[in-house]
Amino acid sequence: RMKKQVKMLSLMLVLLLAASGTTLAKRGNCKHGRRGKGRGRGRRFGMMMRMLRSSTVLKEAGISKATATRIRNTILNSKKKVYPLRAQIKVQRINMRQAMHSGRVSENNVLRIARKIHNLRWKLKALRIKTKVRVMNMLTKAQRDKLKEIGRKRFRRWKKRWRRGRRGRRGRRRRRR
């Protein structure tokens, strides 16, 4: 009986540490959570897909209107598949919370739900990768290189603005004497 309680307590402790570890990983170093959503989920993928939404970027990269339409449709179709998967993950997380707070916690039940969540997250990741591969296969090598260069320029511009801070180009305001 004592061994069972120790096992159950250690399982709950591991799950608690795993849950707190994921929340800390999501927060990163910033104080207010994942505002930019840059850390942890493939920043380059998100930036590239956001850039492909812009018509000016598509023109600058030399992508035709027909290809741009196919790219947009591919991204929209993948988004249609993403939302139900995210909803299923949320439902399973609620189920896991209920299983953890029920009177008698079943280790098998909790692990089964955790496996479901893991599989759903993997499906999301696979969908993201497949979408990116489809989009990149629609583009020529020159267009991909041009998009990368545009992304680098935008990042440098953003970094300069970020370094300046709230005060703009002048930097810190000096005190008058």
Burial 18-32 (b: 16+ CB within 10 A, else e): eeeeeeeeeeeeeee
* Per-residue model confidence (pLDDT) at position 164: 67
Distance of CA 29 to the CA centre of its chain: 16
How far is Cα 142 from Cα 87, in angstroms, rounded to an integer? 38
Give the tokens for residue 126: 């696979």
* Per-residue model confidence (pLDDT) at position 154: 83
Give the tokens for residue 135: 């989009």
* Per-residue model confidence (pLDDT) at position 174: 54
Is 0.85 surpassed by the pTM of this model? no
Per-residue pLDDT of the chain (177 residues; tens, 9 = 90+): 677 777 777 777 777 777 666 555 554 555 445 455 444 444 455 677 777 777 888 888 888 889 888 988 998 899 999 999 999 999 999 999 999 988 888 889 999 999 999 999 999 999 999 998 999 899 899 988 888 888 888 888 877 777 766 555 555 555 555
* Per-residue model confidence (pLDDT) at position 170: 54
Nearest C-alpha neighbor of 14 from the set 124, 121, 123, 105: 105
* Per-residue model confidence (pLDDT) at position 176: 56
* Separation in Å, CA 102 to CA 90, 110, 128, 135: 18, 11, 35, 46
* Per-residue model confidence (pLDDT) at position 59: 84
* Per-residue model confidence (pLDDT) at position 23: 56
Token match 């320029």: residue? 153
